[in-house]
Amino acid sequence: MKRLFRAAGITLLVIAVLLVGAKVLNLWRPILGPRARPLTSRTFERTPQRLERGRYLATSLLGCIDCHSVRDWKQHDAPVVNGMLGAGDIFPAKGLPGRIVAANLTPDPETGAGTWTDDQLARALREGIGHDGRALFPLMPFTNYRRLSDEDLASVIVFLRSLPPVRHPLPPTEMVFPVKYLIRSVPQPLTEPVPPPDLSTPEKRGEFLVAVGGCGDCHTPQRNGDPIPGLKLAGGEVFEGPWGRAATANLTPDPSGISYYDERFFVHVMRTGFVQARELNPIMPWWSYGRLTDEDLMAMYAYLRTLTPVQHRVDNLDPPTLCKVCGNRHGLGDQN
């Protein structure tokens, strides 16, 4: 009897631990490893329509080729170094927690994605799990890509398969402690189909484009890795690397932001990288977004116009000073 009680007690204890465990599982992800769904054997049919759509998305809006290629940052439009399209690079920004390597996405079987399956790529793109099952450093914007429809996802992958294979050996990503463990709670599996987005008005279309295009990753200032409330797209994040040092602009319709823009001027800036005589730092990927159609760029502008105006002066021509609004050091910071 006693033994039975003890056994029952242990069983209850185990159940209780499991229940509590399920609730706090996300807290345990750093130790247990990321949440990942099993891989499937699905493949995406290679059609000319998907190839075109995938090229459009990967080389403009989504920036895959921007981050996953060796670039010449000394030039106005940061061109891809000859023969290095999609071949990956050690990410050159200063201040990253370790060596972060954007993988070689070309179909080279040894140093690229040649042997990775379509579903391995699909899971990496929208769910943040690498081909080898590890959690990806969220500089890879998989949280933005989560909203990509199944068809757009398939298109991007069909395009990647069409890249000329480039042999480009790279070292593995090596994050510092404790980042390596903490990021394991970020990936979330996707097990339901993702339908196409609502593009019924320019503003809705623009909201989608700005979100999956990752404008906020750079233009919304962060504190401890989270967007600062009330400063959506209000600028001030600072990027340092081979391109020099630049703070992001305030994109809200405030006089300290881009209230003086009109639709034509926005399209012109995104296509040329010039704001009148002022040359934009190439870390602003206008050279990528500039490939978007007029319709898509105009929709982005329509959405930016709906943002809550935020008073936040940011300028890259003046020397950096501490800003009490965003906590960063940028030009005109002391005037906020």
Residues that bind ligand HEC (CB under 6 A): 58, 62-64, 66-68, 91, 100-103, 105, 121, 124-125, 130-131, 136-137, 139-141, 145, 156, 160, 173, 210, 213-215, 217-219, 239, 246, 248-249, 251, 258, 269, 275, 280-281, 283-285, 289, 300, 316
Shortest separation between residue 210's beta carbon and ligand HEC, angstroms: 6
Shortest separation between residue 14's beta carbon and ligand HEC, angstroms: 35
Shortest separation between residue 17's beta carbon and ligand HEC, angstroms: 32
Q: Which is nearer to ligand HEC, 18 or 165 (CB)?
A: 165
Shortest separation between residue 139's beta carbon and ligand HEC, angstroms: 5
Shortest separation between residue 193's beta carbon and ligand HEC, angstroms: 18
Identity of the amino acid at 168:
H
- Distance between CA 263 and CA 267 in Å, rounded? 6
Q: Which is nearer to ligand HEC, 140 or 310 (CB)?
A: 140
Q: Which is nearer to ligand HEC, 26 or 275 (CB)?
A: 275
Shortest separation between residue 81's beta carbon and ligand HEC, angstroms: 17
Q: Which is nearer to ligand HEC, 13 or 295 (CB)?
A: 295
* Distance set, CA 105 to CA 81, 167, 228, 281, 284 (Å): 15, 11, 33, 26, 22
**Cβ-contact 332, 321 below 8 angstroms:** yes
User: Shortest CA distance to 160 belongs to which of 121, 132, 214?
Assistant: 121
Nearest-5° Cα angle at 104, 246 to 221: 25
- Distance between CA 106 and CA 170 in Å, rounded? 13
Q: Taking the mean position of all CA atoms in its chain, how far away is CA 26?
A: 22
Q: Which is nearer to ligand HEC, 11 or 201 (CB)?
A: 201
Q: Which is nearer to ligand HEC, 175 or 334 (CB)?
A: 175
- Distance between CA 149 and CA 58 in Å, rounded? 14
- Distance between CA 217 and CA 290 in Å, rounded? 18
Nearest-5° Cα angle at 232, 287 to 123: 65
* Distance set, CA 306 to CA 80, 180, 302 (Å): 34, 38, 7
Q: Which is nearer to ligand HEC, 170 or 334 (CB)?
A: 170
Shortest separation between residue 192's beta carbon and ligand HEC, angstroms: 20
Q: Which is nearer to ligand HEC, 173 or 328 (CB)?
A: 173
* Distance set, CA 138 to CA 1, 76, 127, 169 (Å): 54, 27, 10, 22
Shortest separation between residue 11's beta carbon and ligand HEC, angstroms: 40
